[in-house]
Structure 1
Amino acid sequence: MGKEEGAPAEQKFPNVDPHWENNDREDRESMQDLREMVILGIKEAAPRSQNFVKGFEVRQEKDETPSAFLKRLKEATRKYLEMDPDNQIAQGLLKVQFVTESWPDIQKKLQKLDGWSERQIEELLCEAQKREDEKRKQKAKMMVAAVVEITKRR
């Protein structure tokens, strides 16, 4: 910050009007230094804004497992909400997001659970995983039935 790096604090940041002149080079440097210190102080004092919108934009992707989805939700909570996902408040937000932003069939199953908002996130994940497993089994049965039907036609 200019040549007055080692100057006393009162000279760099005076408590009274220092009567600096715009036309004097050293005074202009002192004004510039003071301005930079004030701006830096404001930047450091102001809290970083949290991007709640980004934190709540996370949706379960088409072929994403419930556990992978929950992991992404936790990462978004850390990154955009600047919260520890294990924090009680964050857990409440995670539960709501996990239930409301899961695929519709999983969402319905979770919302039918009595007191789902009071349950642990791990319980909700377990129930979501059960629904995911049911879907995979149904899909496998349909594929087997299709293969059987095709082989009958030959």
Structure 2
Amino acid sequence: MGNTGPVRIKIPFTTTELDSWKEAVKDYRDDPEKISKRFELIVKNLDPDWGDIEIMLSALSDTERQMVMKTARTHVQAQVTSGALPGTVEMHVPRVDPEWDYNDDREYKLLKRYQEWIRLGLENAIPKTVNWSRLYTIKQGPGETPSEFLERLRVGMQKFTTMDPASDEGRLQLVALFLGQSTDDIRKKLQKIKEPDIRDLEKLVEEAWRVFRNRENQDRQKLGKTIATATIAAMQEKGRPNMGNRPRMRPPLRQDQCAYCREVGHWKRECPKQKMKPQPIVGNLREDQDSE
């Protein structure tokens, strides 16, 4: 604790964190908004100072870095000019390390604002390229719900075009995309809807959900039939006699083979092993009676 309250402690970057950032910004031009959000997350977790942010910006190409700084300074200039922000552009987006003190409230506020200016710069430095062809590659997946598919179309429209999905023009375009790029069974059903409902996005989504749920019910019924068929087949198989448990038949005897001990060279009545077999007691009693 300091004299005026808790002391802020700077958390240094680890090598792993820096490597992860460098890997992420390779795709900066393709998705500046994604990199901007990643930067925002790092700010929340690590609270980087001016020097840390310089290291992060150095992972960009020279051109990209210049564009980010120019965009950030342009935002500041607009607010300074309008009187909404006191001071100068250099005060808020300095080119050299201002050595802001973490534990000085006024300087710490300047650091927090600087972090936000850089985030805005990262988000807006790259002009959005209109690429309608990318939007037409967004197809509904077999297991994707109508709502999930519509959300992907909205995100794609924001990412690949300058059109606002919430605008009238954007909604009409979403209707066309939703109609044309849904799965086959949903698309065939939607194409049967009459005017003016076919231009109503909410009604299209509602009907798409009906088809989707009906498909799920049919899949469950098919699965139930498959399980039932497999169960019946297993029970029938279980009820059949097991041929493997039957006693195996002995091979036929040779002419000179004993039927009792299975050895070769004598017959059963001459088998020495049979003669060694103990005689029944009943037989002995009869012999004694005869002798009397």
Q: Same fold (TM over 0.5)?
A: yes
Matched, 1:67 2:147: yes
Q: How far did residue 62 of structure 1 move? A: 2.5
Deviation digits for residues 52-89 of structure 1, max 9, x if unmatched? 11122211123211111100000011111122111111
TM-score (ref. length: structure 1): 0.65
Unaligned runs of 5+ in 2: 1-126, 236-292
SS of 2:171's equivalent?
A: helix
Distance (Å, rounded) in 2 between the aligned partners of 1:127 and 1:89:
22
Q: Residue type of the partner of 1:100?
A: G
The 1:116/1:66 distance shift into structure 2, 3 A limit, reads farther
Matched, 1:150 2:150: no
Partner of residue 134 from structure 1, selected from 205, 214, 221: 214
Unaligned runs of 5+ in 1: 1-46
Higher relative contact order (CA 8 A, sep 6+): 1
Distance (Å, rounded) in 2 between the aligned partners of 1:62 and 1:132:
10
Distance (Å, rounded) in 1 between the aligned partners of 2:158 and 2:128:
14
How many residue pairs match? The answer is 108
Distance (Å, rounded) in 2 between the aligned partners of 1:88 and 1:136:
33
Matched, 1:79 2:159: yes
The 1:140/1:63 distance shift into structure 2, 3 A limit, reads same
Identity %: 30
Q: Residue type of the partner of 1:150?
A: A
The 1:100/1:117 distance shift into structure 2, 3 A limit, reads farther
Q: Residue type of the partner of 1:86?
A: A
Q: Would you say the 8 A contact 1:96–1:117 is kept in 2?
A: no
SS of 1:125's equivalent?
A: helix
Distance (Å, rounded) in 1 between the aligned partners of 2:138 and 2:219:
26
Distance (Å, rounded) in 2 between the aligned partners of 1:71 and 1:97:
12
Q: Would you say the 8 A contact 2:128–2:162 is kept in 1?
A: no
SS of 1:128's equivalent?
A: helix
Q: Would you say the 8 A contact 1:58–1:73 is kept in 2?
A: yes
TM-score (ref. length: structure 2): 0.35
Distance (Å, rounded) in 2 between the aligned partners of 1:48 and 1:151:
58
- Matching residue of 2:168: 88
Q: CA RMSD in A?
A: 1.6
- Matching residue of 1:44: none
Partner of residue 203 from structure 2, selected from 117, 123, 127: 123
Which structure has the larger Rg over C-alpha atoms? 2
Distance (Å, rounded) in 2 between the aligned partners of 1:144 and 1:70:
31
The 1:140/1:116 distance shift into structure 2, 3 A limit, reads farther
